[in-house]
Structure 1
Amino acid sequence: MLEEFIKHKTGILAVIENIETLTKEDIKTVGERLRMVREQLLSNSFNLVILGQFKRGKTTLINSLIGKEILPSSVVPLTSIVTILKYGEKIRCNIFMEDGSEKNVRIEELADFITEKGNPKNMRGVRCAHIEYSSPFLEKGMLLVDTPGVGSTFLHNTETTYEYLDHLDAALFLMSADVPISQVEKELLDTIKGSTQKIFFVLNKIDYLNPKEIEEIAAFNKHVLEEMGFAVNEIWPISAREALKAKTNNNDIQLSQSGLLNLEDALGRFLSLEKGKIVLNTAISKANRLISQVLSQIGIEKKTLESSEEELENRINTFHKLVANLNQDREDTAYLLKGESDKLCLKVEEMLKLFEEKEIPRIRKCLRNFFANQTIYKRSF
């Protein structure tokens, strides 16, 4: 099974590298994203993205999974920046900025960069935060990704979450036991439907309800999800808040009652049995989406070039027509000028003929009279 995985992985990597080479110069954004897919495949890392509407308890759930309150949480919408947790021997917090720079900060300073309160509307220009922590849950290459809740008054937080959806390998979709699934949640689920083969549906805040109420809300949400086209094997009821308290206080009974152990077991089985397949399939899906994007962009550029060629041909034809019209105008003008010249010559000839017929005899007569008078004058002397 391992040999088969390595074989498929090597083949996928070769294809991605070839496409990456072809797109590196001309379509840099696609080439960069392909590089990220390749690096993730090489590292065998796996993005489990925590998604849900605001105030569903996503950050508290992550803290309970790793067993320590590392990420800041609040009773108001707080998380504003995508935050990625991965395994590390020592706790470490790196902030990646939108300008490409990176800074290492103390965990106590994290809230100043990833929360709406500390970094309103992301005025600091943070792209994402990476936290390393020595949690057994993260040891197998799992990357836990905390996202801003959708549907709050902070629209930019919703946009941040939607922009990250291309990076998910599997999703943990968190609902709240005290309210039925909402339209905002359904819209988010519709968006991720084709992006991943695995979604864990989790019902949080069960400590607010009694067992019968929990069963009722879970059944209702399951029905809605199935109507949307999701194959829902199970909805995992938990109390992330109680689980975090239990782990902090080493209270095994409270931890068992929180329901988190069942979810952790399901995630563990998934990592052991399905992670390799999902990693390969996700890499293929991401590569296919990027290839489709490349082909679409090439099609647009081809159409633009064809359009430009046609436009150029039209301009050349128009130019030729203008030249032809100009030549015709020149010929017409020459013809008209020749006609006017001929008319003028005829008129001059007519005037000369008239002059010859009328004026020349008169001049001759005058001259004869003049010479006749001259003769008479000479004789008188």
Structure 2
Amino acid sequence: MQQSLISERNASKAKTQKIFDELDALTNVDEHLQFAGNIIQRVEIPNIVRDEIKQRINHIQKRRTDPNLYLAVIGEFSSGKSTFINALLRDELLKTSVLPTTAAATKLRYGSNLEVEVRLKGTKPGIFKTNGNSKKITVPWLPGVKGINNREFIHILTAKDEVAKDVVELTITHPAPFLGNGIVIIDTPGTNATNSLHGTVTSKVVENEADTAIVIVPATIPLSQSLASFLSSSLGPFLHRCVFVITRFDQIRQREQSQLLNDLRSRLVEQLGIKPPILYTCSAQVVIDDISGEEEVQPHLIVWKERFEQLESLLINRLCRERSLAISENVLRLLTRLLEQLDGQLRSQWEDWLLVQ
């Protein structure tokens, strides 16, 4: 399957290269970045604004040279978000939980071995790294981290509240074929947490890092009011970059599936103004059950394995298409912010000049 996904990605990149070239020509990204850099050197603007613009320019330049494709996964607690990511990895790596834990995004990128890099705050802040051979990880100041392996360490960092609260940034390398396509999955905090920081982190990931964002919607709870409110208030400007994956679809009776999709599509149009909403259906749990062997997959459910593989191919194609658009949007936001600041600065100088006349 890995070779097939790589071949499809290469074919998609070839088809979209012309679009990328035309987009770069249309937006003149390099010229705009150079213009922004020249302006902040010549015009008197507040240092805090100057530093912000410099950081954004550096971020865009770094992103343009980064060959990876970034896929954010968004969902409420108990929506099946972790199960979906585990299915992409073909590994029960992330622990499913109904409770809010870390407010940090978790990045999963390709590596030949399972390894962890975590940046911590708290009484002993800093970066802690493991390697593929780490079998007796011990961090004396972290509860429960004594003589454990990488998998257990990941579970504690992401699902044990007294540890997760101090996680600032978490990166996991994993040998999953899906990640081997140059894809970085960003697991965002659950959106229905009482901690407002969860929503802030998620919106920043979609705005600044993700090429495409998957919104997980369980078929058993199609578009809860809390999820709709979050999408509208926090992700409104970026909804065009989102695709909606309806999980647990195997739990819906076949005669009811079409109606459910039609109703959900209508609600996305009416409540969020998405035209047209992109919907995919899947059953990630069937994929996990097939891998683990703990639950026998009934013959009538095997089709969901095949549909999940098709979904993976569709996601890779979309990531290739959206990358250039996401970078261009960042440039346009940078220029808008810069021009707004320049406008305010010039107005202030004009008013000061009038006062001395």
Cα shift readout 1:321-340 (whole Å, capped 9, x = no counterpart): xxxxxxxxxxxxxxxxxxxx
Change (3 A) 1:33 1:77: same
Is residue 297 of structure 2 the alignment partner of residue 267 of structure 1?
no
| Alpha-carbon distance in 1 for matches of 2:306, 2:118 | 31
Q: Larger deviation: 54-63 or 22-31? A: 22-31
User: Shift of the alpha carbon at 1:66?
Assistant: 0.7
Counterpart residue identity of residue 330, structure 2: K
Query: 1:243–1:17: structure 2 CA closer, same or farther, 3 Å change rule?
Result: same
Q: Number of aligned residue pairs: give it.
A: 309
Equivalents in 1 of 2:39, 2:77: separation in Å? 38
Identical amino acids, percent of aligned pairs: 17
- Given candidates 312, 328, 335, the residue that maps to 1:284 is 328
In the alignment, the residues of structure 1 paired with residue 236 and residue 29 of structure 2 have an alpha-carbon distance, to the nearest angstrom, of: 25
Alignment CA distance shift 1:54-1:210 (3 Å)? same
- 1:39 corresponds to: 62
Q: Give secondary structure in 2 for the equivalent of 1:96.
A: strand
Q: Determine the C-alpha separation between the residues in 1 that align with 2:299 and 2:91.
A: 16
Counterpart position of 1:147:
188
Partners in 1 of 2:300 and 2:180 — Cα distance? 21
Name which one, 1 or 2, has greater alpha-carbon Rg. Answer: 1
Matched, 1:298 2:342: yes
Structure 1 counterpart of 2:89, one-letter code: I
> Structure 1: which 5+ runs fail to align?
318-381
Residue 244 of structure 2: aligned partner: 201
Contact 1:63/1:70 (8 A) holds in 2: yes
Q: How does 1:75-94 map to 2 (within 5 A)?
A: 75-94=98-117
Partner of 2:275: 231
1:103 counterpart letter in structure 2: F
Counterpart Cα distance in 1 of 2:283 and 2:266 = 22
* Change over 3 Å in CA distance of 1:75–1:277 after alignment to 2: closer
Is 207-216 or 146-155 further displaced after alignment?
A: 207-216
Which amino acid letter does the alignment assign opposite residue 45 of structure 1?
N
Taking structure 1 as the reference length, what is the TM-score of the superposition?
0.69
Deviation at 1:75, TM superposition (A): 3.0
Alignment counterpart, residue 182 of structure 1, candidates 211, 224, 243: 224
Q: Per residue, is there more helix in 1 or in 2? A: 1
Compute the displacement of 1:48 (Å): 1.2
Residues 108-257 of structure 1 correspond to what in structure 2 (within 5 A)?
108-115=152-159, 117-119=161-163, 122=165, 124=166, 126-166=167-207, 167-190=209-232, 191-195=234-238, 197-227=240-270, 228-232=272-276, 235-249=279-293, 257=302
Supply the AA of the counterpart residue of 1:188.
F
Q: Which amino acid aligns with 2:287?
A: A
SS state at 1:110 partner: helix
> Any conservation in 1 of the 2:110–2:173 contact (CA below 8 Å)?
yes
Deviation at residue 112 of structure 1 after TM alignment: 3.9
**Aligned Cα RMSD in Å?**
3.3
CA change 1:256–1:17 in 2 (3 A) is farther
SS in 1 for 2:178: helix
Q: CA deviation at 1:197?
A: 4.3
Among candidates 20, 35, 52, match of residue 29 of structure 1: 52
Contact 1:206-1:238 at 8 Å conserved across structures: yes
Unpaired stretches in structure 2, ≥5 consecutive residues: 1-13, 42-46, 131-149
Structure with higher RCO (Cα < 8 A, 6+ apart): 2
Report the residue type matching 1:55 in the other structure: S
8 Å contact kept, 2:112–2:174: yes
Equivalents in 2 of 1:216, 1:203: separation in Å? 13
- Which residue number corresponds to residue 102 of structure 1? 127
**CA 1:254–1:133: 2 relative to 1, 3 Å:** farther
Relative to 1, partners in 2 of residues 1:180 and 1:280: Cα closer, same or farther, differing over 3 Å? Answer: closer
